[in-house]
Amino acid sequence: MSTRPNGNSAPDLFQGLSAEELREVERVTSTRAFRRGAVIYTPGETGEALFLLREGAVQIYRLSPEGRKLVIAHLLPFSFFGEMSCIGQGMYDTFAEVTEDSTIITMNCEVLNRLLIQRPEVARRILESFGRRILEAERQLEDTVFKGIPARVAALLLRESTGDAVDGLTHQDIAERLGVYRETATNALNELKAADLITIGRKHITILDRERLRRAAEQ
């Protein structure tokens, strides 16, 4: 986990800033590389830090009192997260964990506020990032309330598939994304397999019939 000043590969977020402004941004932010599995923050570390995922992937999750894990958000590049009380966002009792080697920019409220004022496009991009997160959370909420586990697993596979393959996800990972037991996820996967919708291998699932899987995801 190294720390270095921002290079000249500033993310799209800062596209359009003048050289002067970029220098300013570099001065007041830091860019760090995190390895897969690194935990960026846990409840209690209530710094005022504000993070911008430049590349990689980050999971925001919570733990139940009994230790069950629920992933409430998957962030893709150019997502904002962290304590943003300055813009009405807090991290509360959440954990943030890097799920793929990532590059993350850290800044504080003051810096963000300056950016928001100087660069309307920045606000635009944050707004988009927030919008995605709202959509995702509300969709997950709806699925949780209305659908059964097999349908939710099917939907997750469709979302996470690259081509017709879903790689690198263990049953445990799937369970955590849905907030259910690993055994329950395995059962649901086996149901889908029994219906010839998918094949299951170690950390590797293949979608056999995308269309029918989509229908299964409907409930």
Site residues for DNA per CB under 7 A: 66, 68, 147-150, 170-172, 179-184, 186-187, 189-190, 200, 202-203
Whose structure tokens read 């710094």?
A: 47
164-167 long-range contacts, CB within 8 A, separation 24+: 164/206, 164/207, 164/208, 164/210, 165/204, 165/205, 165/206, 165/207, 166/204, 166/205, 166/206, 166/207, 167/203, 167/204, 167/205
CB of 180 to its own copies, least distance (A): 8
44 binds its own copies per the rule CB under 8 A: no
122-161 residues near its own copies, rule: CB under 8 A: 123-124, 126-135, 137-142, 144-146
Pick one of DNA, its own copies, none as the site partner of residue 92 (Cβ within 5 to 8 A by kind): its own copies
Letters for 1-40 (x = contact with its own copies by CB under 8 A, - = none) are ----------------------------------------
Number of residues engaging its own copies in binding (CB under 8 A): 41
Q: What is the separation, in whole angstroms, between the first and last Cα of the chain?
A: 43
| Nearest CA-CA partner of 165 in 187, 214, 198, 193 | 198
Whose structure tokens read 């958000």?
A: 73
| Nearest CA-CA partner of 77 in 142, 135, 25, 13 | 13
Letters for 65-104 (x = contact with its own copies by CB under 8 A, - = none) are x--x-x-xx----------x--xxxx-x-x----------
Pick one of DNA, its own copies, none as the site partner of residue 183 (Cβ within 5 to 8 A by kind): DNA
Q: Which residues of 100-137 are buried (b: 16+ CB within 10 A; e: fewer)?
A: eebbbbbbbeebbebbeeebeebeebbeebbebbeeee
Closest CB to its own copies among 34 and 80?
80
Q: How many CB atoms lie within 10 A of CB 40?
A: 24
172 binds its own copies per the rule CB under 8 A: no
185 binds its own copies per the rule CB under 8 A: no
Polymer length of the chain: 219
CB of 173 to DNA, least distance (A): 7
Binding residues for its own copies, per CB under 8 A? 62, 64-65, 68, 70, 72-73, 84, 87-90, 92, 94, 116-117, 120, 123-124, 126-135, 137-142, 144-146, 179, 218-219
